[in-house]
A and B are shown apart, each in its own frame.
Chain A
Amino acid sequence: MKEHLDNCRQAIIDGDAERSEALARLTLEKKMDVLEVIEKGFVEGIREVGRLWEEGELFLPELVIGADAMKKAMDVLQPSLEGGKGGKDSLGHVVIGTIEGDIHDIGKTLVATMLSANGFEVTDLGADVPVAKFVETAADKGADWIAVSALLTTTMPGQRKVIEQLKAKSLRSEVKVMVGGAPCSAEWASEIGADGYAGDAVAAVALAKGKAG
């Protein structure tokens, strides 16, 4: 198992989408613990990619192919996750996306992955998502949470607009809102009336669990 986890981690760091997809399929074929492979294999890989990016050791191309490799693996493994089935075991439904005007999505995708891996049903709207789409989708799905990511100070105000639109549609009491992304903070979350701020995927899961049920 350890070797498999290392291989998964390395495939992400190398940005090798073919390999990560093959390893994901192998995980299912060999009936390995999907959750463990995700959390201790692939997620460790994308975390390392993020760390190397922060350190200035790797750049956009490597960041993007790492994220692509992660997506490929998750496309294969997602359907097997408990929360994804929306059954009684689901801890709740989270609608997640990066706000309108902003195409940064690696952190957001990691949060979506971790929430999914930890028992939540997740609808990932992608990036550059209009405010209305967050609200409509949450209403459609009867979501418990909206998670909005913003990585630009210029797009952060969109997070406030999501909350305002929920209020305008009398949905604010039905849906909780968490915000994240590099320029965000607990102060910002408080200022806009969000239910919480999560600085990383682990914090997002904790926040969602703490407020769920």
Chain B
Amino acid sequence: MSGFLDTLKEKVLLFDGGMGSMLIAAGLGEGEAPDEWSLTRPDLLADIHTRYLEAGADVIQTNTFGATSIKLASSCRGGAPDTAELNIMAAEVARRALDEFIVGGRFLAGDIGPTGEFFPPMGLLTADRAREAFREQAAALEKGGVDLFLIETMYDIREAVEAVRAVREVSDRPVVCELTMDRKKKGYFTIVGDTPAKAAEVLIAEGTDVIGANCSITSGEMIDLAVEMRSLTDAPLLFQPNAGLPEFKDGCAVYRQDPEEFAGDLMKMVEAGADAVGGCCGTTPDFIRAVRRRLDRM
């Protein structure tokens, strides 16, 4: 089987969709950290992975978005599980779902989300502390059997850089890095003011194999971002927007976009030159199925 990067040269790859709302639908409690389900409900987690594979995802992501030691310490106030054990388990659950799936040629991405802390002046995070946390997570995901690493939802390039460096310290596997950006009057920016141009320059210099964007904005709002990033670099690009804007019902975020509309927007990104697409908050196997149909027609 061709490696991830080689396959990306041959065809557009489809990443999976949201995990959070799928876990909530499967019964995740209000006080539970999503990542903990790798240990407590691996059966339900495996089912979600399988459903994304059935929907046609080429790449599934481990349920480890909040699984650095730093993030777990703040989200599991009653006592965090062991970081390495959690990440290995999450990777093994996903790997098993992949290996047991009747169709081969799919990939497992080790998912790395933000530590949740901020660099100065917003907070006290240091490069060393961030890199150490990411290194611990990456090493465990590598041990658990991932094919590539997906660093996502990064809002500060300083943190993204440490994540890339940390992965490189423990693995030779492909590294993908997505920033999360909002559309402002003057263009796309992360919450700390980083731009697509800065992302392209800095992340590629660090040796990131694939860059892109996820979350914060809708599929419609992300099309121009795909166009802009395509003009900034020849490196492969990945985009994973949200399923529309969230509405809040009874304290829960509900995303209402129509899967066909979402799929149409993603195809526009592909036409603009995106190498891979997928979904973020609010997207479900139905969304991925809709995109799969369009990609297969190409």
- Residues of chain A touching chain B, judged by Cβ–Cβ distance below 8 Å, are 55-62, 64-65, 68, 153-154, 157, 183
Contact = CB atoms under 8 A, between A and B. Distances in A.
Given A57-B186, A58-B193, A64-B122, 16 more contacts: A55-B184, A56-B182, A56-B184, A59-B189, A59-B191, A60-B118, A60-B122, A60-B192, A61-B122, A61-B192, A62-B193, A64-B121, A65-B121, A68-B121, A153-B251, A154-B251
B185 interface: yes
Interface in B112-135: 118, 121-122
B122 A56 contact: no
Contacts of B121: 61, 64-65, 68
Interface in B189-237: 189-193
Given A59-B192, A61-B122, A157 B251 contact: yes
Given A60-B192, A153-B248, A55 B185 contact: yes
Given A55-B185, A65-B121, A68-B121, A60 B248 contact: no
A201 B293 CA distance: 52
A56 B251 contact: no
**Which size class do B's interface residues fall under?**
10 to 19
A204 B189 CA distance: 32
Contacts, number: 34
Nearest to B246: A153
Contacts of B192: 59-61
A21 B193 CA distance: 27
Interface string B226-263: 00000000000000000000001001010000000000
A71 to B, nearest CB: 12
Query: Ordered nearest first, which 6 A-B pairs have the shortest CB separation?
Result: A56-B184, A59-B193, A153-B248, A64-B121, A60-B192, A64-B122
Contacts of A60: 118, 122, 191-193
19 contacts: A55-B184, A56-B182, A56-B189, A59-B190, A59-B191, A59-B192, A59-B193, A60-B118, A60-B122, A60-B191, A60-B193, A61-B121, A61-B122, A62-B193, A64-B121, A153-B248, A153-B253, A154-B251, A157-B251
A58 B193 CA distance: 7
Contacts of A61: 121-122, 192-193
